[in-house]
A and B are shown apart, each in its own frame.
Chain A
């Protein structure tokens, strides 16, 4: 039951909305995101330290432990009607962080930030110090220092599937796990103009080199005294993941949960490569139509059963369900990263299923 107070309050907020609308205020998607360390359990039970994103549950950063870190981070959405994305970022790490979305313009960028590598005792923001050709960029965009909260705004947010990553020392922070998918549809149920879909599946490829993660967590990575690993040039991943899991994780078998795909249903598969190596997503037994790349709709779709997915790239594809349930189609990395720390079978192997409806 609504009290008179509530009705009056609702009336007032309706008035405010109308006012905002008339003033031409932007419609925004707004998120409160925490960045923190975590331990990620690999499919073989071994734990690897990671840095990742988690959504703050009460959206105010006031309660501690009010978030769960995941790698990849949670998928963020910008509604078709939103033209702005705002992220409030809380940094629980002991080094600065920032945000970067490949293909989107950060509107309130007050960075980049350069430092006097390798000591990093001096920083410059906005532009490279004059006549200084030894300073190195640390962050592509303005930084959020340890313990602080930063705000990142993207106006005129473009339609498509994108990868949000840390913009700070990406070889280190992105590798540690700071990435998540961010999606804006053209319209409800339509990924791009004339690309309608009935169901959606997000597939993120990534890898883990535990030795580098442990060195980063221990502070012995990079241009630091007592470094055990100076750079990632010798990276050799031991785990190969899709959506944070490796075969035979249940979450990959199937990867699309209890989806019921009737004959002719259009499944939109959003592929993202958040890793540091090229992968080749391949479906056995099926062709898909590729409709977009990096959030840019193709002029003409391309029919294929697999394709090269380079680092940082996103590809949107439509799989048309060939028949009613049940059916199963395997989705794996044709580069055959199919092991878990050398143990086979494992790695980037999953299947997509059209499930029969549950009968209760």
Chain B
């Protein structure tokens, strides 16, 4: 066997798990940590735990590669508490941020620190992403031993080993890490989520924004230097960009999970629709939303600001497990959908298939790039909201849900 081209499978620090054929290769941290992990667990595991960050080119252990073409990220899969816009505290699962955290401290420091949505991942076209996901376990539910995974939704020509689908691949058990590798050659708006027991883990909130900026960025085309895609003509050029990750929580499901009840899959119905993990008016709050434990679980504000005449790029996706959401703005200018599913809306021989609409429906799993050209828009405050008006709710509370504000400032605003 030509060992250079086999998939290397690491071994445990404290015991030999494979035969001699497998190469043992540790990129970092010695066996001491393995022993420490054993004792830092509050629940029984039959094998030793291993937090292991793989980041080629990281010479000083800060989780950042010296190679500018390599992006290393470290996220944790676990649980936490979030706060809905009507004040309801809801238990949830998601990924937390472990960038740069020494592996020995990950489980000790980062349990119950899931974020909603999960940390945003941004890449440049051509970069390679080494994404380590460490399963820190669900502290509130010590009876659960779910693995977690990361699925990069929409990654072209994916291979199952890094696709995050648990059925045809290995997924990290509690206390362990898995490093995903992606060669980001296709720019666009994507998202990521856990795919283990998808109906449950995604309802519980394991979702995050992800996008790849195009190689064309930096060139001056049509008055822009930032583009959503390699359009060649500036048609996807923008001045400011905002992600809009739409989803919903079913409070009954989350409460059942929190209180160790049977999970009501059949009755699942999202009554807390959200943008980037918050319902209105929390969507416009520039501060973090802090949960019942004082942790900033919901960090992303969805307020959209631009100067009159600027072009706004909206990276929109919907990851609700129960609903599609339609949205519109009150800007009075149409929305130009320039791409869908991380593919520029151009036919096979280059025909313009972009869509100009006032109202856009986003089904689960769909992502769109929408450009708002604010030329001619009077300075003021406008609204982006769902025209599925029942979803302007935070549960039984009205005037909430999927809504955010668009503030257009005058051209020469001194402020």
Contacts and interface: CB of A to CB of B under 8 A. Distances in A.
Interface of A: 100, 102-106, 109, 112, 117, 126-128, 133-138, 140-141, 167, 169-172, 174-175, 221-223, 230-235, 276-278, 293-296, 299-300, 308, 310-313
A223 B334 contact: no
12 contacts: A100-B330, A105-B376, A117-B399, A127-B380, A137-B405, A170-B392, A171-B389, A276-B389, A276-B390, A310-B326, A312-B359, A313-B357
B389 A133 contact: no
A161 to B, nearest CB: 11
B380 A172 contact: no
Contacts of A100: 330
Nearest to B285: A133
A170 B387 CA distance: 9
A322 B185 CA distance: 50
A295 B356 CA distance: 9
Contacts of A106: 332
A233 B393 CA distance: 6
A311 B397 CA distance: 21
B361 A310 contact: yes
What are the 10 closest A-B residue pairs judged by CB atoms, nearest first? A105-B332, A312-B387, A230-B396, A294-B358, A231-B393, A103-B358, A233-B393, A133-B285, A171-B389, A231-B398
Given A105-B377, A223-B399, A313-B359, A171 B392 contact: yes
B378 interface: yes
Nearest to A127: B381
Contact of B396 (A138, A233, A277, A294): A233
Contacts of B405: 128, 137
Contact of B358 (A128, A233, A312): A312
B281 interface: yes
Nearest to B379: A127
B355 interface: yes
B393 A171 contact: yes
A294 B357 CA distance: 6
Contacts of B324: 278
B334 A308 contact: no
Nearest to B362: A310
Given A102-B359, A310-B361, 13 more contacts: A133-B287, A136-B281, A138-B399, A140-B330, A171-B398, A223-B397, A233-B396, A276-B388, A277-B388, A296-B334, A300-B351, A313-B326, A313-B359
B281 A102 contact: no
B188 interface: no
B23 interface: no
A141 B359 CA distance: 19
Contact of B389 (A175, A221, A293): A175
B271 interface: yes
B356 A310 contact: no
Interface in B356-389: 356-361, 376-378, 380-383, 385, 387-389
Contact of A233 (B271, B285, B377): B271
B158 to A, nearest CB: 28
A232 B334 contact: no
Nearest to B391: A233
A133 B399 CA distance: 14
A227 B387 CA distance: 24
B329 to A, nearest CB: 9
B398 A103 contact: no
Interface residues of B, number: 51
Contacts of A222: 398
**Which of B390, B393, B395 is the most central at the interface, judged by chain A CB atoms within 10 Å of its CB?**
B390
B352 interface: yes
SS class, residues of chain A in contact with chain B: loop
A231 B388 CA distance: 13
A112 B397 contact: no
A312 B326 contact: yes
Contacts of B275: none
B229 interface: no
A310 B359 contact: yes
A288 to B, nearest CB: 19
Contacts of B383: 112, 137, 140
Nearest to B330: A140
A136 B399 contact: yes
B326 A278 contact: yes
B361 A308 contact: yes
Given A233-B390, A278-B324, A311-B389, A172 B398 contact: yes
A167 B387 CA distance: 12
B104 interface: no
Contacts of B331: 105
Given A103-B332, A277-B388, A312-B387, A169 B399 contact: yes
B280 interface: yes
B328 interface: yes
Nearest to B326: A310
A231 B393 CA distance: 6
Contacts of A300: 351
Contacts of A133: 281-282, 284-287
Contacts of B360: 310
Contacts of B351: 300
A296 B357 contact: yes
A32 to B, nearest CB: 23
A230 B332 contact: no
Interface in B336-364: 351-352, 355-361
B102 to A, nearest CB: 36
B355 A293 contact: yes
Nearest to B356: A296
B127 to A, nearest CB: 35
Contact of A294 (B330, B359, B391, B395): B359
A311 B359 contact: yes
Contact of B398 (A223, A293, A299): A223
A134 B278 CA distance: 13
A221 B378 CA distance: 34
Contacts of A310: 326, 359-361, 387
Nearest to A131: B286
Contacts of B381: 112, 126-128
Residue among A138, A221, A300 having the largest count of chain B Cβ atoms under 10 Å = A300
A231 B359 contact: no
Given A169-B399, A312-B326, A232 B390 contact: yes
Contacts of A103: 332, 334, 358
A231 B395 contact: yes
A229 B331 CA distance: 31
Nearest to A312: B387
Contact of A231 (B334, B361, B396): B396
A100 B286 CA distance: 27
A310 B361 CA distance: 7
A140 B393 CA distance: 17
A102 B5 CA distance: 58
Nearest to A126: B380
Nearest to A227: B396
B403 to A, nearest CB: 8
A126 B388 CA distance: 25
